Chains A and B, each alone.
Chain A
Amino acid sequence: DGGITQSPKYLFRKEGQNVTLSCEQNLNHDAMYWYRQDPGQGLRLIYYSQIVNDFQKGDIAEGYSVSREKKESFPLTVTSAQKNPTAFYLCASSILGTGSYEQYFGPGTRLTVT
């Protein structure tokens, strides 16, 4: 089955610790994205990548870092510099090309930092 997997579903960390969220896709999509959703709010773009070894900051990149060493994988690290890390994190992917606009989402990871 093709799709996007995110692990774990729930993650708990102590304040001051870095944590890495996993995102893997087997859709052969070129582009991958990380979003954050807070209660009652929409999705805000953290980082995105259109090609291996290249990525760009989204609207709220501060306190986060990413890597794209493989086409299938786009892990997100939430660093201790992120002031409000508790949120629901969503990974997405898409193909690139004229008329390709739909993004496919993973099931999400809920991160709680105390």
Chain B
Amino acid sequence: DQQVKQNSPSLSVQEGRISILNCDYTNSMFDYFLWYKKYPAEGPTFLISISSIKDKNEDGRFTVFLNKSAKHLSLHIVPSQPGDSAVYFCAAFRGAAGNKLTFGGGTRVLVKP
């Protein structure tokens, strides 16, 4: 049972334009949602997070939006840069479930110069 899903396996965007990555979840008990960025053959690095009681969090070029009623979150990257080309994972955290993260399948982003 996949509790966190990223339905778009890949995304291609022109440099300078907006990248929008989507993530859906099924468990309404998640406390936080996180986005990680991963380059090939490296470990994921934390990008941005949002508490389940918020609907928006912004950090520089990255903004995460949370729609609890739809159980949906999205990551906006604007403007997109070639260095943003990577795989992005959405993850959900529930403290009461052993402090574990549940990951989505990832979205590969390619930013074309």
Chain A interface (Cβ < 8 Å from any Cβ of B): 4, 6, 9, 31, 33, 35, 40-45, 48, 50, 56, 58, 88, 90, 92, 94, 96, 98, 100-108, 110
Whether the Cβ atoms of B99 and A31 lie closer than 8 Å is yes
- Not counting A33-B100, A35-B103, A43-B44, a sample of 12 additional A-B residue pairs whose C-beta atoms are within 8 angstroms of each other reads A31-B99, A45-B101, A50-B99, A90-B43, A90-B44, A94-B99, A101-B49, A101-B95, A102-B49, A105-B45, A107-B41, A107-B43
In the complex, which residues of chain A have a beta carbon less than 8 angstroms from the beta carbon of B103? 35, 42-44
B37 CB to nearest A CB, Å: 11
Most A C-beta atoms less than 10 A away, residue of B31, B34, B43, B100: B43
Instruction: List CB contacts (< 8 Å) of B16-39 with chain A.
Output: 31-32, 34, 36
The distance in angstroms between the C-alpha atoms of A84 and B32, with both chains bound, is 32
Identify the closest chain A residue to B45 (Cβ).
A105
Contact residues of A: prevailing secondary structure: strand
B43 / chain A contacts, CB cutoff of 8 Å: 4, 6, 90, 92, 105-108
Instruction: Give the nearest-CB partner of A9 in chain B.
Output: B41
Residue count of chain B within 8 Å CB distance of chain A: 25
Cα of A107 to Cα of B42 in the assembled complex, Å: 5
A101 in contact with B31 (CB, 8 Å): yes
- Shortest beta-carbon distance from A52 to chain B in Å: 16
Hey, which chain B residues are within 8 Å of A88, CB to CB? 41
The answer, yes or no, to whether B60 is at the interface (CB within 8 Å) is: no
Q: What are the residues of chain A within 8 A of B101 when measuring CB–CB?
A: 33, 43, 45, 101, 103
Taking A42-B105, A43-B44, A106-B43 as contacts, is the C-beta distance between A56 and B99 under 8 angstroms?
no
Q: Are A48 and B98 in contact (CB under 8 A)?
A: yes
Residues in B whose Cβ lies below 8 Å from that of A94: 99
Q: Which residue of B lies closest to A3 (CB)?
A: B43
